[in-house]
Each structure stands twice: as structure tokens, then as C-alpha cells.
A and B are shown apart, each in its own frame.
Chain A
Amino acid sequence: MAFLCLSFAKGMDFFMSTKSAVSKENSASLFTRIRRNKEIYFLLVFGLIWYIVFAYIPMYGLTLAFKTYKASLGIFGSPWTGLENYVYVFKDPAFLNSVIRTLQINVGRLVFQFPFPIILALMINELRVGRFKKVLQSVYTFPHFLSWIIVASILTNVLGQTGLVNSFVRLVGGTPISFLGTPAYFQPLIYITEIWKSAGWSAIIYMAAISGIDQEQYEAAEIDGASRFQRIRYITFPGIQNTITVMFILAVGNIMNAGFDQIFNISNPATSKVAETLDMYIYRVTFKSASDFSFSSAVSLFKSVINFTFLLAADRVSKLFGGEGLFG
């Protein structure tokens, strides 16, 4: 069900971005454009198929939130139970704790993680040697391709009691620090590892936006004596502001997803209390105890509705401040 909800959220994102793009065109010109660029639009077909098969069709499974799932009867045949699952959901103190924890972690992600790819893109863009720029970009992008299992084992080797850092701490006469077993370090650890793993990859979209800025603006600014920092501040940054806004709105719309893979692999019994996000909670009630798919569907649906609400709210706030938002 976690997958269903992830798909649901992604589906909503796609729906909105498509609608945003389409809203500026009338239907006749859209068909003309499709006819004119059919090869390009042909590639879109596979994306659409993916969304229909994996995001929209499985959405019928969300009805389980209001049923008691019986595998033998299937999703359609399982009996309806109204809001009974939600009564249990809100009775469980672990559920509310996990909601609060998820929000807390993700607000932190917006504050600490979100700016990093932007800063990285701006910095890479300022490099003068083209080849060095490309090498650096590749280096920063590479960690994205490592799975969280690998990252978690690297982390153990680096931060464990006998790891690199603690060996150094011992060498200089200090007492080893329990990085992996101290709840207070857990949240910073997930931000740092996520930045290490994804900042390079996420910077690509900003690099693309930067490359779309008219170069003449830079030349004119240089002639007018603008410093490098001023060019970043008055040309580059405003040039990518719309991209930043869209990415921020999407990030806000993802606020109830705290990165299951990452937390699952990095957490352990010592940090379990600070690591039980909503996704971890859903995983626990679905697979780690007697299966209750209806219960976890109810939680997943709740999560999707909250995500969707945040997405719309962020869009409205963006417009309120003069931005374009997702819907133009």
C-alpha cells in the first residue's frame, strides 16, 4: 500500500505538471504540436503507460482503507467496514507520533536539504574550466547511484565504534562517539547522507535552468561592472526562481514521505523511536506484525490526502507571493 500511495502522490504531481503545461495552449494548437513533433510525443506514451498501469489503475486498492481485506475475496470482494479502520488508526499512539515525526523530519529537509542542490548548481556554474566542471558534476552525481543499503554499510564503516572517525578519535585520545546509536544524531545523519547522496543529482535540474538563461545578460552586466556575486544575485538566481518555486512546491507536496529506504537502512533499535516515520509505521503494521492491509491502506490514504493538501496549499502560497505555482 505504501507503493500505492507513493504512486498516487506521483500521479498527482504528474497530473498537475501536465495540466500546467497544457493550460497555456488551446486544444487545437496542442494537436498541431503533437502532429508536428510526433516522434518526441511518442516517447511520452511510455511515461503515460507507466503512470496508468502503476499509478492510476492500482488506485482502486485505496478502497481497502474502508474494507476488511480478505485475500481470498480480493480487493473488490472484501467487505466494506466504513471508517472502522480509522477508529483503530487514531487510537494507536504510535500513529500520531509517526505523523509528527514525519513532519518534523521533512520540515528539516526543506530547511537544510532543499537549498543544497541550488547552492551546488550555482557554484558549479561559476567554474571557469569546462572540463573540471564536468568532472565535478560527475563526482557529485555518482553517489545518487548507490543504494541505501550500500550507503548504510559505508556509514557503519565510517561512523561505527571501530570505524574511521572513532579510530581517529581514539588516536587523539578521545572517547569514541556512538554516532549510530544516539537518537540526537539520527536526524542530522539523515540530512547529511541525503545531501551527500542526492545533492549532485538534484542540482542537474537547476543546472539545466541556468543554462537556459540568456548569456547576453551576463555580458551586459559584466560591461556594467557587476561583480560575480552580483551576477549570481541579480541574474542567475532570478533566472532559476521559477524552477526553485516548482521544486519547492513539489517538495512540500511530498512532506509526508520521509524517505523510507534511507530511514529503514540507517535506523536501528537504538534509534527506532526517532526513526519511526509514517512510512516506517506503515511497514511495521503491514509486514512486521500480523498483516492488516486494510489498516495500512487507511494510513496510506491519510498520508496521501495530507500530501495533496500541502501541495495545494504551497501552490496557493506561492501565488500569493507573486510566483507562478504549479497551475500557472
Chain B
Amino acid sequence: MRTAKQWSYLLLALVMIVSLAACGGNGTTPDSSAAAPSGTAPSSSASSAGTDGQSGAASDTGSPNPATVVPVSDKRLKFSMAVNAPIEGYDYTAGDPYAKWWSDRYNWDIEMIGLTGDNWDEMLRIWINSRDMPDVCIFNYTTKSHADAASWVEQELIKKMPDDWRTRWPNAASVVDKTSLGPEMERAYDGVYFLPRARFDENLPGDPLPNHMCLSIRKDWLEAVDMEVKDAYKISEIIEFGKRVKEKDPGGIGANLLPITSRPGYTINMFVYHNSQNYNTFYKDTDGQYKWGAAHPDTLEGLKLYYDAYASGALNQEFFTLKGDDDRDQFYVSGVAGAVYQGSTSTGMQINQETRFKNTGLDPDDCVHLANILGEDGKYHQVDLINYWGTLIFSPDIDDEVFERFMDMLDYGCTEEGYRLQVAAFEGEDWEYDANGNMVCLLPEGMPLEGANGKYPSMGYLLGCLKLWDDFSFENPNVIEKYRTRSRDLYADRVKNGSPETFPKTDWTVWTYDSPARRKVSFDYATEFANIVVNAKSADDVEASWNAWIDSQMGLVQPVLDELNAL
């Protein structure tokens, strides 16, 4: 009996040890060197610089073909990569022929770590500051995260590109140079630590660059509430639409009706940003002095519009609880919303309308309309988007072989052949050239290539991507012509409706300014302003709360203004 008792104690102790060990394990960032032996391996790019990246195995056998992939090396590597919004649990090494082509050609296994818009910045901060980052990450470089970036560079927490990277990977370097951010940061840091991913290369729709975000609005409901279907609406017109929809409920939705819906981060854009483009930053005023955009009267005007939308019931009464893509799904999947702030890339439009909206059983041609949002002055308000989205960064501990092979892949992705593969998949299988030399889609109309419902779920902004899809979106044969045209028109209208005052170029002095005082000024404007609006009892109340908030923060803001004005 006593022995049995002793055994049971021992067994219990063992279970506890195993539990502790399990808790202590690191499930997210495995050491890549375990799979890829460390040591100074010969550079794969040394032999391939300038050639492998551009042609190599793919061109040896014609255009890329899943059946005839020649690996760049016999040595299998493994690395981890953290990106925003991959498909949870999807096999990005061999889940589909597209993923397999890349992993066969570059002979690697990818451990894809998923981030969401909600935890993207936060996870990278934790990983990088604890020197535990995955081998490759996409960093959301913005003026808000510039202080982090500067701190990481200063402490060498991320890898610096080798001095000869431009000659070794010329195609990648050429794309990075087109992003504006790349050259600016190279100057600021005296070296290259971040590889911004270019939105546009050949087809830049404007300089300053407009964003693709716009309003998705129910066309049938517009007509039902006697409002004109237009290319652009002032904010007050959108609110008017919401009010009428709330009153008439043209879709017969009932209690679930959401005239306008939007997550807090987009709501502030819809009502405040498009009326006051500097609401969340510092700007140089006409008197030559730097000022805080949050304190500008146009910001207050935007806040009052925001309040009107909320107080009148035009805006989803619980917009502040929305997370992720809840708002998009309310419009495009469940069809209970009248308007939502969404993207208008041609591919995005196609997925939203041809795939998601089908769930409603309605015809998107009859029911969905995309339009730009104008400020109350009738102008398009935005600050220069800057020609990039997300930057690639590497762990300082990344294995040399992994780094060089990944760069080879990026460089190949920036060649015409590599880029075609990324945006249109396989020639002969998914597209071909017609007699006039134009690309023709071989897929059934409307069938997406990428995304969870696409032919190749691994496609997207994940593999081999230094040049994003935007550049190709106007000519992509896999996207139905009407969406390409609409996207192009919307971009053109934004440029047309903007002025140098309402749609200014990037002020790099402000964008890259960093100091201890500047680092303390990091507000979550979406939360702060949503709080003011939701808790206000009247428009005057909004103004009083806004004034109080501005006053309470001036202790932190004024030192930064003083510093900027002293430059």
C-alpha cells in the first residue's frame, strides 16, 4: 500500500514536471538554425546575383510551371515568417501548387505565424524587444511606429542589409527605391534595415498617392430613399443616407438594420479624417508654424458629424464593439448594413462582390456601389499614403543561408516574370497571351486566384512579395474588367477632388521626427474620439469634451511642437 502511495506521488510529480515543461515551451518562434545549420554558409546569391533572381530555373524551362521546378539549391532550409492575416493553419509550404512552386524552387519549409490587425504592432514589439523575433516579419511601419523602428535600429535588434545588397539583389533594390519611404529611411538610419513593399511600380495613380479606401454603399437603398447614386459623397450626405435608411428600412431588415456600420478605426476615417486630414499628426500651417491636427477646427467639425451619425442612429449603435472584419461582413455577407468603409482595390472589390455578397442572394451589380468620401468643403482629404504597405524586416539572428535565399526569392519576385507569377499565377494554366499580346484569364469569370476561396489560397501578400498587387490590379486579367475600371476611376477622382491643401505630400520632417517627448505623444485617436462621441449628450457636449481632451494633452504635445518649431 505504502509503495503504491509512493508511486502515485511520483507519478503526480512527473505530471507536474511535464506540465511545467509544456508551459515553458515556445510555440511560435522556433530557432531556424535548428533546421538550417548555422555557420557561414556560402551565399546562394553570390553565385546567382543578378541572374538567378531574374531568371534561373524558372526561365530555363519557360515561364514558371508547377511541373518543372528546378530548386535553386539542394539544401532544404526552414524559416519562420510572421505576416498579417494569413489563413489560419494553412500550409504555406505545400498547401497548393502555388505555395509548392515557391517552396520547391527555393527548397524550404515555411512556418507561417499569423498576426491580426489587432495584435500586429504589439506582437512585433514584444518579439523584437525580447530578441525573439521570427526570421522574417512584416512590420507595420507608420509614423506612429517610427519611434519603435528608430529604437530597434539604434540597438541593432533587426538586421541591417549588407552594404552590397543593391548589386546582389538589384531588382529588389529598384522596387524599394520607388517607395519613398525606403530612400528616406536609408538616409535617416545610414543604412537599410527596412524593405518597404511597394504598392505601385509602373502604374502609380497619383503623387501624392491616394488610398484605395472608400465607401461601399447599397445602391438599391440609395434609390429607395430618393438619393442620387454618385461617385463621391460628402460626409453629411452619407449621414443623411443613414438617417433615411433608418427611417424607411428599404431592405426590410428590421431590428438588425445597421444603416452605416464601421469598426472604430475606420469610423474615425469616415467622419473625421476625410474632413481633417491632419487630425492625428503634426503639420506645418500656412504661418510656417507646426501645429497639432487634433486641435484643428476641422477636426472638431468632423467630430460633430461623427456625433450626428451616432446620435441620430445612422451609425451602428455598437460600432465600438466591432473587431476584425465584422463591419465588412455586416455589409457584404449578412447584408444588414447600408454602408461601410472598405477598400476598393480591384481584387478586393471582386472578392467582396463576387464571393462574399453572393451570401445575401442579391445581385451585386444592382445593389453595391462604391464611392469616394469628401469633406464638407467638397474636397478630397487625405495625407500622402506613401507608396508602400508594410515593410520586411529580418531577425539579426537569421541564418545567412536563409536570409540570402529569401532575398533571392524577393529579387526574383520583382522581375517581370516573378511578378506575373505572384499576381496572375501560372501561364498556360491560369492565364495566357492572346494574339494581340494581352493577358487573358483562363479561369471561370469571377473566380478568385487568392484567398481562402481562391484557387491558390497561399497567394496574396505573403510569398515573394516586395511589389504588391496594386500595381497590377488595373490590368489583372483575373479581375473582371468592370472592377478594374471602377478602381481606376475612383483613384482618378480622388486625385481630381484633392488640392495641395487637402491632399498634401508627406512632410518627412514630421514623419521621421523622434525625441523622448515625441515618443510620449502616441494617442489612440480612434478610441479617444469614439469615447467623446458615444458619451456626449449634444454637439456642444462634443465640443466641450474635445476641448477638455485637447487641454489635458497639451502638457505632452506642447514640448513636441516647441521642438518641431525650433528645427
Contacts and interface: CB of A to CB of B under 8 A. Distances in A.
A72 B125 contact: no
B319 to A, nearest CB: 9
Interface in B137-151: 144-145, 147-148, 151
A178 B317 contact: yes
B526 interface: yes
A43 B13 contact: yes
B289 interface: no
Nearest to B526: A269
A181 B129 contact: no
Contact of A290 (B519, B524, B552): B519
A270 B148 contact: no
Interface string B135-169: 00000000011011001000111000000000000
Contacts of B16: 46
Interface in B297-321: 317-318, 320-321
Interface stretch (A160-168, A191-199, A248-256, A305-313): A160-168
Given A42-B9, A162-B256, A290-B144, 9 more contacts: A43-B12, A71-B128, A93-B555, A167-B255, A181-B534, A269-B526, A270-B534, A270-B535, A273-B531
Contacts of B535: 183, 270, 273
B524 A46 contact: no
A46 B321 contact: no
B20 A39 contact: no
Given A39-B9, A291-B125, A50 B20 contact: yes
A72 B555 CA distance: 31
A176 B9 CA distance: 57
Contacts, number: 98
A71 B131 contact: yes
Contacts of B519: 289-290, 292
A268 B527 CA distance: 8
Nearest to B8: A39
A272 interface: yes
Given A272-B527, A290-B147, A181 B125 contact: no
B82 to A, nearest CB: 16
B256 A269 contact: no
B458 to A, nearest CB: 29
6 contacts: A43-B12, A70-B155, A181-B321, A270-B534, A290-B519, A293-B129
Contacts of B6: 39
Contacts of A17: none
A79 B552 CA distance: 32
Interface residues of B, number: 45
B13 A42 contact: yes
B255 A170 contact: yes
Interface in A78-95: 88, 91-93
A176 B255 CA distance: 10
Given A43-B12, A46-B13, A167-B255, A72 B156 contact: yes
Interface in B488-524: 519-520, 522, 524
A156 B321 CA distance: 8
Interface in A48-100: 49-50, 70-73, 88, 91-93
Given A88-B520, A293-B129, A269 B147 contact: no
Interface of B: 5-6, 9, 12-13, 16-17, 20, 121-122, 125-126, 128-131, 144-145, 147-148, 151, 155-157, 255-256, 264, 317-318, 320-321, 519-520, 522, 524, 526-528, 530-531, 534-535, 552, 555-556
Contacts of B129: 71, 291, 293
A9 interface: no
Interface in A121-176: 156, 160-162, 167, 170, 176
B558 to A, nearest CB: 12
Contacts of B552: 93
If over half of A's interface residues share one DSSP class (helix, strand or loop), that class is named, otherwise mixed; here it is: helix
A270 B534 CA distance: 6
A24 interface: no
A161 B555 contact: no
Contact of B5 (A39, A43, A92, A160): A39
Contacts of B155: 70-73
A170 B256 CA distance: 12
A175 to B, nearest CB: 11
Contact of B255 (A162, A268, A288): A162
A287 B527 CA distance: 15
Nearest to A180: B321
Given A46-B20, A290-B147, A161 B522 contact: no
Contacts of A270: 320, 530-531, 534-535
B148 A181 contact: no
A70 B264 CA distance: 34
Contact of B555 (A42, A46, A91, A273): A91
A301 B147 CA distance: 25
A72 B148 contact: no
B219 to A, nearest CB: 25
B140 to A, nearest CB: 13
B251 to A, nearest CB: 16
Contacts of A292: 519
A58 to B, nearest CB: 13
Contacts of B13: 42-43, 46
Nearest to B318: A161
A91 B264 CA distance: 29
A273 B320 CA distance: 13
A139 to B, nearest CB: 27
A290 B320 contact: no
A62 B431 CA distance: 60
Contacts of A178: 317-318
Contact of B318 (A42, A46, A49, A181): A181
Contacts of A269: 264, 320, 526-527, 530-531, 534
Contacts of B130: 71
A70 B129 CA distance: 8
A46 B255 contact: no
A71 to B, nearest CB: 5
A251 B522 CA distance: 34
Most buried by B among A50, A180, A181, A183: A181
**Which 7 A-B pairs rank lowest in CB-CB distance, beginning with the nearest?**
A289-B522, A290-B147, A269-B530, A72-B155, A270-B534, A269-B527, A269-B320
Nearest to A93: B552
Contacts of A92: 520, 556
Contacts of B131: 71-72
B531 A287 contact: no
A91 B527 CA distance: 22
Interface string A272-303: 11000000000010011111110000000000
A160 B555 contact: no
Contacts of B522: 288-290
A55 B259 CA distance: 51
A71 B317 contact: no
Contact of B320 (A176, A181, A293): A181
Nearest to A179: B318
Nearest to B264: A269
